[in-house]
Structure 1
Amino acid sequence: MKTLFAMLAAMLGQQSGMLGLTLPIDWDSMTPLPYQRQPVVTAQMSRFVAKEMAFSKCPMPPQQNGRHIVALDIAVLLSDDGSVRATIPRAINCSAVEQYGAGLVSTFARNNLDPQTGDPSGWYRATVTFEWK
């Protein structure tokens, strides 16, 4: 897995001028992904994450008000036609959940982004929040 991330980092580093993403990613400065309708993370999705974190022995987040909460940031590259070209999850030390979240964001974005005037291409940030008891 570390090799995969190293290869991805090298590729992004080579293309950073073209793609506009610098490493390390400055998550706070990224523009939020412009959804038309805010996606809903269902209880079933959160249960899947809870089970996956337990099965994979991922570090469990501490409870807040009796609930576990995992907020996962995803960097999203949009093409000039507004479609998703790439998703990069922020590491939370649980690769299965990171990849699941990246896939959800890609699905949530399909036919659900605000049409923009001009070229929408570039990097955006999406956050997926999972909650369970």
Structure 2
Amino acid sequence: MMIAALLLLLQTAATPPAVPPGTASTPAAANALPPQDWSTLPLLRTRRRASTLANTSAYVHGEVMAGRCAKAVRTAQGWTITVDLAVLMTPRGGVRRVTPRAIDCPTVEQYAAGVILGTRDALDVGEADTDTWYRTSLTFAWGG
């Protein structure tokens, strides 16, 4: 079976949104959890569209096919699974923390967090003055 992987980071072409009140934190609070309502977080933008090679999502494919991820969706083109993540970024673009939203598949949740850490050079935090939580989603897709 040929596996094609696609990693989509939510991004916008517009200027970064203003940070909503209560979403910024100080370095002392860097270990804090993201706010409960992630919809209020600004979208994490990328400088360029990030994509993965087929073998990068082979792990996710294996977890889904082994029945460990009930949230995977079968489509006419194959399978997809999406993981929402909250990412605490420093003003200089460093990643302090990545918190995946639970999808009842801890291995894929943690894998997605690792993918974000691996793409940190492509992330764009704009003009934040303090550590700030952002939101993004990763979608893994493959045929079959």
1:87 aligns with 2:98: yes
1:83-122 alignment to 2 at 5 Å?
A: 83-109=94-120, 111-114=121-124, 116-119=126-129, 121-122=131-132
Q: Which has the higher helix share?
A: 1
Q: CA deviation at 1:92?
A: 0.9
Q: CA deviation at 1:129?
A: 0.7
- Alpha-carbon displacement from aligned partner over 1:15-38 (angstroms, at most 9, x marks no partner): 9xx458323xx2333211121012
Task: State the AA in 2 paired with 1:22.
Answer: P
Task: Figure out how many residues of one structure are paired with residues of the other and give that number.
Answer: 114
| Cα root mean square deviation, aligned | 2.3
Contact 1:76–1:125 (8 Å) recurs in 2: yes
Match of 1:129 in 2: 139
Match of 1:68 in 2: 79
User: 40, 43, 50: which one pairs with 1:39?
Assistant: 50
2-structure distance, mates of 1:66, 1:113? 29
Contact 1:76–1:123 (8 Å) recurs in 2: yes
- Identity within the alignment, %: 32
Q: CA deviation at 1:46?
A: 2.5
Which has the higher relative contact order, 1 or 2, with Cα contacts under 8 A spaced 6 or more apart? 2
Q: Under a length normalisation based on structure 1, what TM-score does the superposition of the two structures give?
A: 0.72
2-structure distance, mates of 1:126, 1:102? 11
2-structure distance, mates of 1:115, 1:130? 24
Structure 2 unaligned runs (5+)?
1-24
SS at match of 2:50: coil
Q: CA deviation at 1:115?
A: 6.0
